[in-house]
Amino acid sequence: MNENPTLSTFSMEKTDKPVNQDLSIIFHPASVVSKYEYVVTKDGKEGTMITVSSNRDVPIYLLESGKYQITVRTYDAKGVLTEVKKSGTYVIDKEKPRINVGQRSITMEQGSIIKPLEGIIVTDNYDGNLIDKVTTNYDSIDFDTLGIKKLTYTVTDSAGNTATESITINVVESTSNQLQLTQIGIISVLFIVIFIIMQYRHTMELEKRIAKYALEPLVDDSKSIFDKLLDHYFFLVQKVSNVLQKSVVISKYARKYDKYAGTVHRRYKKGMHFVASKVLIAIFFLLIAMFAKTLQYQVISIYEAMIPLLVGFVLPDLLYMYQYKKYRSQVENDLLQAIIIMNNAFKSGRSITQAIHLVKEELTGPICEEFKKMELELSFGLSIDVVFHRFSDRIQLEEVAYLTASLSILNKTGGNIIKVFSSIEESLFNKKKLKLEMDSLTGSSRMIMYALIVVPILFIVFVSIINPSYFLPLFTSAIGIVLMIIMLILYISYIYIVRKVMKVRM
């Protein structure tokens, strides 16, 4: 009830501090009031004017978060304004404070210490910064045991709203000892390399001092240090090959590299040598990655080690394919000259063996090496058919297969070898001419194709240089990884389809 009947009052004049509940403010009009009007102002914005045509008490409900003030105008029976009553400020705060913990998951070493409030941001819409009121369960967590721990942050604002956030802490074994051992190992290797270099320089200086007392050999068989390193590397490749060939699976895998033997690399005599070289290169890439991580005072993880291993194992394949394609291209370009020389030899009455010897003497490059092998095989007693079939299997060119088939038929049935070689010569000449014309006509299209393949990669490189964190969501989020896989599939499919469309079989 209104204690003073001549004055209007509110059941609650104001709130001393923010509250997190609805408010019901009852207006008690004075006894002389016959009607009144009230308006509620929220956050500085006036609401709708409400008129009460009686002297009864009316509850005014404040339901949402905000700052409120109530203004009431009272009138007597004659309609004369008798009073303007303003309340104090009512503050309702139903919003919880916001806790920004940054990373939701962190990794720490066993027994180490972290600062739980470092990097934490806590804000409230009315109280502002509440970092001083944050409580955690940090003291109750045992960081001396391995496993996943949950660190919880709790804060309550002045209105009584409580907010909590948690982060996951993965406690792992300390890698400081491993890091120290790795650093000691790398430093030891560096000292050994430096010692070897110093010993080599000492040997060279000693050799220079006694050189004036020694006679120069007629044939200098000395090797440079680079050649000696290559010899040691090929010796290591041979040893690794002997170990790998004990595996049936690896032996089957190595068969597809047999075609590279003697063509891509002359010192590799079988496919297993190429596989052993890939393994050694992968290990070398892994050592480089470990050295880089050591310089950052970190130990490389299993997932980080997989990347250099895969790159080191796959990268040589691209080099082998390029060198083999280049080798075949050189043989294909020089094959026409070899056919012309053989045909001229046949016209002058020479045999196939003499024609092969003439090609070996007249030409240089890969085709010369192939004809040297053919001449050597003939000297070992192999037949012409077998020699040319082996030549066809090594090169795998349609022209060589046609030449081999023609010689096989001539050896079995007889015929005019000059006419046959003249026909082959004319066919190869026309095919080469047609290929040059086709390359000239499709040159611009191939340049556009290569540009469209390279442009996305250049775009990624340039953007990464300008903003290194731009593409991080593709690697740090689940949807980013899915999108990246889809983009890689589309990009590879695009390259495959474009190459198929641009390829012209002759």
For residue 39, the model assigns a pLDDT of 92
Q: Which amino acid is at 275?
A: V
Total number of domains constituting the chain: 3
**Other residues' Cβ atoms within 10 Å of the Cβ of residue 356:** 26
Of the three residues 92, 108, 129, the one that is the final residue of a domain is 92
Q: Would 273 be classed as within a structural domain?
A: no
Q: Where does residue 158 rank: exposed (0-12), middle (13-18), buried (19+ CB within 10 A)?
A: middle
Give φ, ψ of 213 to 5 degrees: -100, 0
Q: Would 125 be classed as within a structural domain?
A: yes
As a whole number, the mean pLDDT across the chain is 81
Each residue of 356-412: pLDDT tens digit?
888 888 888 888 888 888 888 888 888 888 888 888 887 777 778 888 888 778 777
Same structural domain, 155 and 129: yes
Q: Would 260 be classed as within a structural domain?
A: no
For residue 5, the model assigns a pLDDT of 62
CA 295/CA 432 separation, integer angstroms: 55
Same structural domain, 444 and 488: yes
For residue 312, the model assigns a pLDDT of 85
**Where in the sequence is the domain holding 128, given as residue range(s)?**
98-174
**Other residues' Cβ atoms within 10 Å of the Cβ of residue 4:** 10
Sheet with strand 121-124: strands edge to edge: 98-100, 121-124, 128-129
List beta partners, residue 71. 39, 86
Same structural domain, 73 and 49: yes
Each residue of 312-347: pLDDT tens digit?
888 888 888 888 888 888 888 888 888 888 888 888
Q: List Cβ neighbours of 336 (8 Å cut-off, separation of 6 or more).
A: 425, 428, 429, 432
Mean pLDDT of 471-495: 83
Same structural domain, 446 and 479: yes
Each residue of 407-458: pLDDT tens digit?
778 777 777 778 877 888 888 888 878 887 877 777 777 788 788 888 888 8
Cβ atoms 161, 98 nearer than 8 A: no
CA 87/CA 67 separation, integer angstroms: 12
Residue 470: which pLDDT band, with cuts at 50, 70 and 90? Answer: confident
> Residue 298: pLDDT above 50?
yes
> Sign of dihedral through CA atoms 409, 414, 417, 422?
negative
For residue 183, the model assigns a pLDDT of 62
DSSP 8-state assignment for residue 132? G
> Residue 66: pLDDT above 80?
yes
The tokens of 174 are what? Answer: 């300390």
Q: Would 184 be classed as within a structural domain?
A: no
Place of tokens 């096989």: 408
Q: Which amino acid is at 133?
A: K
Same structural domain, 15 and 86: yes
The tokens of 71 are what? Answer: 């203004």
For residue 225, the model assigns a pLDDT of 67
Give φ, ψ of 123 to 5 degrees: -130, 155
> Residue 497: pLDDT above 60?
yes
Same structural domain, 82 and 126: no
Q: Would 288 be classed as within a structural domain?
A: no
CA 400/CA 454 separation, integer angstroms: 35
> Residue 124: pLDDT above 80?
yes
Same structural domain, 104 and 76: no
Mean pLDDT of 224-253: 82
Each residue of 149-173: pLDDT tens digit?
888 899 988 888 888 888 888 887 7
For residue 135, the model assigns a pLDDT of 87
Higher per-residue pLDDT: 470 or 87? 87
Q: Would 408 be classed as within a structural domain?
A: no
Would you state the torsion angle of the CA atoms of residues 326, 331, 334, 335, taken in this order, to the nearest 10 degrees? Answer: -150
The tokens of 213 are what? Answer: 């007392």
Of the three residues 28, 59, 92, the one that is the final residue of a domain is 92
The tokens of 21 are what? Answer: 């509940």
**Other residues' Cβ atoms within 10 Å of the Cβ of residue 176:** 13
Residue 131: which pLDDT band, with cuts at 50, 70 and 90? Answer: confident
Q: At what angle do helices 302-347 and 366-379 cross, to 10 degrees?
A: 70
Mean pLDDT of 180-188: 68
Same structural domain, 456 and 500: yes
List beta partners, residue 9. 28
DSSP 8-state assignment for residue 138? G
Same structural domain, 13 and 79: yes
Mean pLDDT of 268-292: 85
How does strand 45-46 pair with strand 147-156? Answer: unpaired
Higher per-residue pLDDT: 12 or 105? 12
> Residue 4: pLDDT above 70?
no
Residue 1: which pLDDT band, with cuts at 50, 70 and 90? Answer: very low
Of the three residues 174, 207, 241, the one that is the final residue of a domain is 174
Mapped onto helix, strand or coil, the DSSP state of residue 145 is coil
CA angle in degrees (0–180, nearest 5) for 356-324-231? 90
Same structural domain, 501 and 442: yes
Q: What is the CATH number of the domain that holds 141?
A: 2.60.40.10
C-alpha 242: how far from chain center? 34
**Other residues' Cβ atoms within 10 Å of the Cβ of residue 124:** 22
Same structural domain, 134 and 156: yes
Each residue of 193-227: pLDDT tens digit?
777 777 767 776 777 677 666 665 555 556 666 66
Same structural domain, 83 and 106: no
Task: For the chain, give the percent of residues with pLDDT over 90.
Answer: 2
For residue 222, the model assigns a pLDDT of 61
